[in-house]
Amino acid sequence: MKIGGTSDAHQSRVNPKAEALKARTKTFALDVLELVDTFPAHGAASRIGFQLADAATSVAANYRASCRARSKAECAAKIGVVLEESDESAFWLEIADDRTLGPKDARRRLLQEANELTAIFAASSITARLSK
């Protein structure tokens, strides 16, 4: 039987924690893009915004790819990339904060989220490497 375009077999294989983390990383990426849209479009602010947007969207895209990995080794490699990109997102959010780019509350909230995601993916990276 089909439910919302998804087979019952697929529904039984869906990991609710992975789906929640996919949604969380996508929300992070979208929120960062919204923040970056408030940056000036010239000079260093433009470069900071580009780097931040690139890293944050890579967190979501690479986590999604890790969920579709064909092997444990491929999953571990993708989680490693997600860890690097979440940490890089935190770095660029720190730079944006130091340069007072965008609304302060948004910068701080997203920096906290980037740090939380980095911690999650650091633990996931260790687990993934140990289970190879």
Q: pLDDT tens digits, residue range 84-118?
A: 999 999 999 999 999 999 999 999 999 999 999 99
Q: pLDDT tens digits, residue range 37-55?
A: 999 999 999 999 999 999 9
Q: What pLDDT, on the 0 to 100 scale, is given for residue 12?
A: 45
The mean of the pLDDT values for the chain is 90
What is 16-130's CATH topology? de novo design (two linked rop proteins) (1.20.1440)
Q: pLDDT tens digits, residue range 18-29?
A: 999 999 999 999
pTM for the whole thing?
0.86
Q: What pLDDT, on the 0 to 100 scale, is given for residue 96?
A: 98
Residues 6+ apart with CB under 8 A from 45: 39, 99, 101
Q: Name residue, tokens 């890579």.
A: 58
Sign of the alpha-carbon dihedral angle for 92, 53, 37, 35: negative
Show me where the domains of the chain are located.
16-130
